[in-house]
């Protein structure tokens, strides 16, 4: 398909998941749009989402009930205005997805003809889903719409290197974002992409940990770029660990959806003799047992694993029946079966793994960051919705609701005057001599984050992590300054920046709250506030 050269610089959206595609589809009628996908289009976090998307649709539900559940899960740090705004627009978000062709699981007697399920932390059934592969169903439908649109250009295997701001221009121009330097991964060259507006929709930072449910794309690119450009970053200490990821040597990132527990599956300890399955344990940690919010379940599993010296616990859904499991969880059933686990006949070995970044670049409800011309949406952004712990299935909803408001804000704003942008300068660098340096630093960073900045933390561990991150950061910055960039180097650079943000934020919080649990500060303070980091503050 041929695309006309736009009269003005296009809007550049960095990231091709649900947040980025939602912005593109709502905006393309008014502006030319370029969407950058770092890897192949199906490799982002959206396609991996299993459970579903919240919709306040049922007669037994209400906006206030959803706000209350979001607030309770967020452990006192949820911005109630944000939560109410998103809950209020949830039905509209579901209707829009249905109109885009998303094949949600049907129920003739359900609201909008949809089957709704329930997940941990929710008072009622309010999760619209497409069996147990909701993210892929949504992503595929929106990709089809984007590919059909004449005003949207998709660039696969293009990675943003850094934002182009006033400091790059070296002349008197208004402070704003003017575009991005982007690496054509296959071509091996960095191009200067002029943009009327840049939208960061790159997802979270799960790959900073050794064990994660996230795809390889989750390297905190947008958060790191926004931080380097001078934007505030908030609540980075709150990294959600999903309680149940498959424990298997051949499949280390398979998330076992929370909906399985929502439908009645139990968590079991291994038997004391190491053979077979032991007793349930969640009722010792929370009266809601397996339906407690994710932070409580993940911490309980971590506690029991360390107490009993075991590598995993079991998730038992055998009592639900083979027919039910195949109908409602076909993807999990099929993938486990390929690994020799028949979930209708045996429990699933599971462990917690890094899953969701509750913090990010600070934005308003239209996605605007501190830097004019720069927006952020989805897991890249911090809006206050998730507080200290994200309520299950609120993430996809946030992408759709705020993706629309972001597009409306950009479309209504006057187009900024363009500026001549400097080309990427490679005159002082050479080809990398030893890739092993990148691989080694990548492994060391992820391991130290897992060991020192995991589900349970101490001040001593955090300080030790910060010292080592400082050394790694120095090595990576030196490597970046002297050698041509590659995707691996850029991802490592972004990960180490995000690791520092996580650790510094954790050190600033002298309490245990939500996803942040400190042995040195086990109490929860009566009043607490978000953690906001600003460039130039002490330590940076």
Domains parsed from the chain with CATH numbers: 242-355 (3.90.700.10), 431-533 (1.20.58.100)
pLDDT value for 74:
94
Contact 116, 55 (CB under 8 A): yes
- Burial grade of 14 (CB within 10 A; 0-12, 13-18, 19 or more): buried
Separation CA 389–CA 20 (nearest Å) = 23
When pLDDT is averaged across residues 30-40 and rounded to a whole number, the result is 94
Contact 193, 180 (CB under 8 A): yes
> 486-521 burial string, b = 16+ CB within 10 Å, else e?
beebbbbbbbbbbbbbbbbbbbebeebbbbbbbeeb
pLDDT value for 427:
72
Give the residue, 436 or 105, on which the prediction is more confident.
105
pLDDT value for 523:
97
- Burial grade of 402 (CB within 10 A; 0-12, 13-18, 19 or more): buried
When pLDDT is averaged across residues 180-209 and rounded to a whole number, the result is 96
Contact 446, 490 (CB under 8 A): no
When pLDDT is averaged across residues 436-456 and rounded to a whole number, the result is 91
When pLDDT is averaged across residues 44-49 and rounded to a whole number, the result is 77
When pLDDT is averaged across residues 103-108 and rounded to a whole number, the result is 93
Q: CA angle, 268 as apex, 264 and 273 as ends, to 5°?
A: 155
Contact 54, 66 (CB under 8 A): yes
User: What's the mean per-residue pLDDT of the chain?
Assistant: 92
pLDDT value for 332:
93
Record the tokens describing residue 412, joined without a space: 């209504």
Confidence of residue 4 (pLDDT cuts 50, 70, 90): very low
Reported as a single tens digit per residue, the pLDDT across 109-130 is 889 999 998 887 899 999 999 9
When pLDDT is averaged across residues 224-253 and rounded to a whole number, the result is 92
pLDDT value for 101:
96
When pLDDT is averaged across residues 508-533 and rounded to a whole number, the result is 95
User: Would the pLDDT of 8 be above 80?
Assistant: no
When pLDDT is averaged across residues 158-169 and rounded to a whole number, the result is 93
DSSP state of 523: S
Give the residue, 4 or 349, on which the prediction is more confident.
349
Reported as a single tens digit per residue, the pLDDT across 372-397 is 999 999 999 999 999 999 998 999 99
Separation CA 447–CA 418 (nearest Å) = 44
Predicted TM-score of the model (pTM): 0.89
User: Would the pLDDT of 173 be above 90?
Assistant: no
pLDDT value for 433:
67
pLDDT value for 3:
40
Q: List Cβ neighbours of 423 (8 Å cut-off, separation of 6 or more).
A: 192
Task: Give the catalytic positions in this structure.
Answer: 294
Separation CA 167–CA 170 (nearest Å) = 6
Q: List Cβ neighbours of 536 (8 Å cut-off, separation of 6 or more).
A: none
- In percent, the amount of the chain with pLDDT more than 90 equals 74
Q: How many CB atoms lie within 10 A of CB 450?
A: 17
Q: List Cβ neighbours of 236 (8 Å cut-off, separation of 6 or more).
A: 223, 357, 359, 360, 498, 501, 502, 504, 505, 531, 533
Separation CA 424–CA 179 (nearest Å) = 12
Q: List Cβ neighbours of 459 (8 Å cut-off, separation of 6 or more).
A: 507, 518, 520
When pLDDT is averaged across residues 60-82 and rounded to a whole number, the result is 95
When pLDDT is averaged across residues 70-83 and rounded to a whole number, the result is 96
pLDDT value for 540:
65
pLDDT value for 282:
96
Alpha-carbon distances, residue 29 vs 33, 57, 151, 172 (angstroms): 10, 29, 7, 33
When pLDDT is averaged across residues 52-61 and rounded to a whole number, the result is 91
Record the tokens describing residue 17, joined without a space: 């998941």
Alpha-carbon distances, residue 377 vs 98, 274, 357, 392, 532 (angstroms): 21, 46, 13, 18, 18
Confidence of residue 434 (pLDDT cuts 50, 70, 90): low
SS3 string, 188-250, reads CEEEEEECCEEEECCCCCHHHCCCECCCCCCCCHHHHHHHHCCCCEECCCCEEEEEEEECCCC
């Amino acid at each position: 398909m041929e695309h006309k050269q736009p009269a003005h610089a296009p809007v550049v959206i960095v990231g091709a998941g649900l947040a980025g595609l939602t912005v593109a589809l709502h905006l393309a009628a008014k502006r030319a749009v370029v969407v950058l996908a770092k890897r192949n289009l199906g490799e982002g976090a959206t396609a991996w989402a299993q459970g579903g998307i919240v919709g306040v649709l049922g007669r037994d539900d209400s906006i206030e009930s959803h706000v209350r559940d979001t607030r309770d899960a967020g452990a006192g740090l949820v911005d109630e205005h944000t939560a109410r705004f998103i809950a209020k627009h949830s039905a509209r978000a579901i209707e829009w997805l249905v109109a885009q062709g998303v094949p949600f699981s049907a129920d003739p007697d359900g609201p909008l003809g949809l089957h709704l399920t329930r997940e941990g932390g929710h008072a009622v059934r309010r999760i619209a889903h497409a069996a147990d592969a909701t993210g892929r169903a949504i992503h595929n439908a929106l990709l089809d719409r984007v590919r059909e649109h004449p005003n949207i250009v998709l660039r696969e295997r293009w990675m943003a290197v850094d934002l182009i701001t006033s400091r790059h221009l070296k002349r008197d121009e208004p402070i704003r974002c003017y575009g991005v330097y982007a690496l054509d991964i296959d071509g091996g060259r960095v191009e200067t992409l002029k943009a009327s507006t840049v939208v960061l929709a790159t997802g979270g930072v799960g790959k900073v940990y050794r064990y994660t449910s996230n795809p390889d794309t989750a390297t905190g690119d947008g958060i790191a770029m926004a931080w380097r450009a001078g934007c505030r970053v908030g609540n980075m200490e709150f990294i959600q660990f999903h309680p149940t990821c498959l424990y298997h040597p051949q499949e280390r990132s398979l998330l076992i959806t929370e909906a399985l527990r929502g439908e009645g599956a139990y968590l079991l300890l291994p038997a004391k003799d190491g053979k077979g399955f032991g007793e349930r344990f969640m009722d010792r940690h929370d009266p809601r047992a397996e339906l407690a919010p994710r932070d409580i379940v993940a911490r309980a599993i971590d506690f029991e694993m360390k107490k009993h010296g075991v590598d995993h616990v079991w998730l038992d859904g055998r009592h639900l029946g083979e027919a039910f499991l195949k109908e409602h969880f076909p993807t999990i059933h099929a993938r486990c079966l390929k690994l020799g686990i028949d979930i209708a006949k045996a429990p699933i070995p599971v462990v917690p793994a890094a899953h969701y970044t509750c913090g990010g670049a600070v934005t308003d409800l239209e996605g605007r960051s501190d830097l004019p011309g720069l927006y952020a949406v989805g897991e890249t952004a911090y809006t206050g919705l998730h507080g200290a712990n994200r309520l299950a299935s609120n993430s996809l909803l946030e992408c759709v609701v705020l993706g629309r408001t972001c597009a409306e804000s950009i479309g209504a704003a006057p187009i900024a005057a363009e500026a001549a942008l400097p080309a990427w300068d490679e005159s002082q660098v050479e080809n990398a001599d030893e890739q092993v340096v990148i691989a080694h630093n990548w492994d060391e960073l992820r391991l130290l984050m897992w060991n020192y900045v995991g589900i349970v933390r101490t001040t001593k561990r955090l300080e030790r992590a910060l010292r080592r991150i400082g050394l790694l950061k120095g090595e990576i910055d030196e490597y970046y300054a002297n050698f041509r960039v590659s995707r691996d180097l850029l991802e490592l650079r972004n990960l180490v920046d995000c690791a520092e943000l996580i650790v510094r934020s954790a050190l600033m919080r002298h309490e245990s709250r939500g996803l942040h649990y400190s042995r040195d500060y086990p109490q929860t303070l009566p009043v607490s506030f978000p953690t906001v980091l600003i460039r130039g503050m002490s330590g940076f």
